[in-house]
Amino acid sequence: MKNIIAFAGSNSKNSINHQLVRYASSLVENVKVNILDLNDFELPLYGIDYEVDHGIPDNAHKFLDAIKASDGIVLSLAEHNGAYSTVFKNLFDWMSRIDGKLWSEKPMLLMATSPGGRGGATVLDIAKGRFAFMGGNIIEDFSFPSFNDNFSEGKITNEALNSDLKHKVASFQNKL
């Protein structure tokens, strides 16, 4: 059986991206899903002086090990001021110090959502442009707009958006 990891690029306890990642990963059939929470991987802010003085924290190694041990990745990025959330960017920076190709060519379903109509499209564009240089193998991407209007009780309520996500999940699954 294949193993995938799923996580949100957010540390909010009420993260809408975490809700989306839970739902999307539940659609992947015949896999073991390991849902990760960035709150379980606390890290100091990245800085070269910290790295020289203290080395790379264990939690950066642990998260990278989870990526490497998986067969695929489902990730939904939170968008803060048009870019990655600070907690995700910090984890990304620490892991890149261990392995510049940190995504390890694992098949990835990359998503973002927001309360607004663009659904995190700006952060998705940033990630799609950057991840390829870091070993990213983005099979599908999904921008989910107007989260509060289109998601309820743990699932997408807008049939067109739900159908689109299911199609993208199937494409991702075929690459595992």
Write the single-letter amino acid at 140: E
Residue 73, pLDDT score: 98
Average pLDDT over residues 55-67: 98
Beta-carbon contacts of residue 125 (< 8 Å; ≥ 6 apart): none
37 pLDDT band (50/70/90 cuts)? very high
71 vs 53: CA distance, rounded Å? 34
60 pLDDT band (50/70/90 cuts)? very high
Residue 170, pLDDT score: 98
Which two structure tokens, joined as six digits, stand for 121?
């499209």
Average pLDDT over residues 121-135: 96
Average pLDDT over residues 111-128: 95
Beta-carbon contacts of residue 80 (< 8 Å; ≥ 6 apart): 86
Beta-carbon contacts of residue 133 (< 8 Å; ≥ 6 apart): none
Which two structure tokens, joined as six digits, stand for 122?
């700006």
Beta-carbon contacts of residue 136 (< 8 Å; ≥ 6 apart): 103, 105, 108, 127, 130
Q: Please determine, looking at this structure, whether the domain spanning 2-174 carries the CATH number 3.30.465.10.
A: no
What φ, ψ does residue 11 adopt, rounded to 5°? -115, 15
Residue 44, pLDDT score: 98
Residue 32, pLDDT score: 98
Please tell me the pTM assigned to this model. Answer: 0.97
Q: Kindly report the length of the chain.
A: 176
Q: Is 112 helix (H, G, I), strand (E, B) or coil?
A: strand
| Cβ proximity of 175 and 139 under 8 Å | yes
